[in-house]
Amino acid sequence: MGKSGGYRLGSVEDSEIIRNFRWQDLEPNTAWTAWRAARLRVSERLQALPPVEVDSLESPSPEAVRELEARCALGNFAVYSVAHPETDVAAASAALARFAQHFGLLESEAHRSSGAAGVVALRTSSEEGKKGYIPYTPKAMNWHTDGYYSAPENRVAGFLLHCHQKALSGGENQLMDPELAYLRLREADPAYVRALMHPEAMTIPENREPDGTIRPDSVGPVFYPDPATGRLQMRYTARTRSINWRQDSATLEAADWLRAWLAAGDPLMRQIRLDRGQGILNNNVLHNRTRFEDGASETDRRVMLRLRFHVRVAEEIHGAAE
Ligand SMILES: [Fe+2]
């Protein structure tokens, strides 16, 4: 694969165009045209690639790390597959936290349900399900990015979703790169993007959480720059209850357009049912989940391990002189 492993995903030029695009400039210009062409080209290539093989979560090869970083830098997510996954949840969680560190994901989100090494084990739990947390039930989950209700200082910029065990049936994920959501919206009407960049575009009202704590109003844009890199990040939920869109026609039309587009699908949308030992490393992309059914045997119950971060997957070009 060599030092330039990631470049076979696209030319050096495409890679530069993607990394340096000033997405907040919505004037029609050649930079937008060039970026759009590069993004579509690269995404089509990414779409066709098999998962990156990882020998060991604790010590992945430098080639695997480079390849995963390159895919995330260009397309915001990458799927990996571990040859010999751990059988024990605690051991798998610890290995996953070590794996994250190879991508600059050092400090995970503080979460009420996190166990070993900050990892949350998502599985059907009658206790959590009763409290109304959909992630702990077999129900379908609509399109969202993680932490869309978080305070600005706690926004989720990246996460790892790792399949420890599959359900008997169902539990597929669909993934959509936020930069492609931006691209499609901008193609439809740049005013949609402008509306969704507004600092008060989307409000998730204050709520008493099922565990009794009060989560304050979360007011913010849908598209915003990552504070560390300037790259586009997205805060979104397709829910229609307990959400207040800014009351102007461009915002409401943009929200409707986005919801309809996600429901209809896109050629560059990715559909995946993770196998045991497979996972998704990503910059908080749009995702959903289909309903699933656990089996009677302990090994037919879906267990997903999740780690969230306030920073994106590292983007250093390895081997470049500093
Ligand atoms: Fe999620």
Query: What is the CA(282)–ligand 1 centre distance, in A?
Result: 11
* CA atoms of 47 and 65, how far apart (whole Å): 19
Residue linked to tokens 């829910």: 239
Mean local confidence (pLDDT), 279-293: 98
Contact predicate 307/120, CB 8 Å:
yes
Query: What pTM was estimated for this model as a whole?
Result: 0.93
Does domain 5-309 correspond to CATH entry 3.60.130.10?
yes
Tokens coding 25: 């400039």
Could you please report the per-residue DSSP string of 68-121? HHHHHHHHSEEEEEESS--SSHHHHHHHHHHHHHTTT--SBPP-TT--GGG-EE
Cα 154 to middle of ligand 1, angstroms:
15
Give me the sheet containing 202-204, strands edge to edge.
218-220, 202-204, 244-245
User: What residues contact residue 151 under an 8 Å CB cut-off, 6+ apart?
Assistant: 216, 218
Residue whose C-alpha is closest to residue 52's, from 43, 42, 40, 61 = 61
pLDDT at position 116 is 65
Arithmetic mean of pLDDT, 86-96: 95
Distance 77 CA to ligand 1 centre (A): 14
CB 237 within 8 A of CB 287: no
Tell me the torsion sign for CA atoms 211, 175, 236, 314: positive
Which range, of 27-31, 61-65, 199-203, 209-213, averages the lowest pLDDT?
209-213
- DSSP string computed for 185-249: HHHH-HHHHHHHTSTTSEEE--EE-TTSPEEP-EEE-SEEE-TTT--EEE--B---SS-EE-SSH
| CA–centroid distance, residue 145 to ligand 1 (Å) | 6
Output the pLDDT for position 317: 55
Which residue type does 237 have?
Answer: T
Six-digit token string for 95: 């290995």
Query: What value does the mean pLDDT take over residues 186-203?
Result: 98
CA distance 38 to 34: 6
Measured in angstroms, how far is the CA atom of residue 119 from the centroid of ligand 1?
Answer: 14
Please report which confidence band the pLDDT of residue 92 belongs to, taking 50, 70 and 90 as the band edges.
very high
* CB 29 within 8 Å of CB 22: no
Distance of CA 78 to the CA centre of its chain: 10
pLDDT at residue 320, rounded to an integer: 40
H/E segment holding residue 57: none
> What confidence tier does 219 reach under pLDDT thresholds 50, 70, 90?
very high
Compute the distance between CA of residue 117 and CA of residue 98 in angstroms, rounded to an integer: 9
Alpha carbon 241 to its chain centroid, in Å, reads 22
82 CA to centre of ligand 1 in angstroms:
22
- As a whole number, the mean pLDDT across the chain is 92
State mean pLDDT over 136-164: 95
Distance, in Å, from the CA atom of 284 to the CA atom of 181, rounded to the nearest integer, reads 13
| Residue 321 banded pLDDT, cuts 50, 70, 90 | very low
**Proportion of the chain above pLDDT 70, given as a percent:** 95
Residue 212: count of CB within 10 angstroms of its CB:
7
Within its chain, how far is the Cα of 87 from the centroid? 25
Gap from CA of 288 to ligand 1 centroid (Å): 7
Percent of the chain with pLDDT over 90: 83
Q: How far is the CA of 142 from the centre of ligand 1 (A)?
A: 9
Per-residue confidence band for 212, with pLDDT thresholds at 50, 70 and 90? confident
| Residue 5 pLDDT | 47
- Tell how far the Cα of 16 is from the centroid of ligand 1, in angstroms: 30
Lowest mean pLDDT across 49-58, 107-116, 125-134: 107-116
pLDDT at 209: 79
Asked if the model's pLDDT at residue 2 lies above 80, the reply is no
Boundaries of every domain in the chain: 5-309
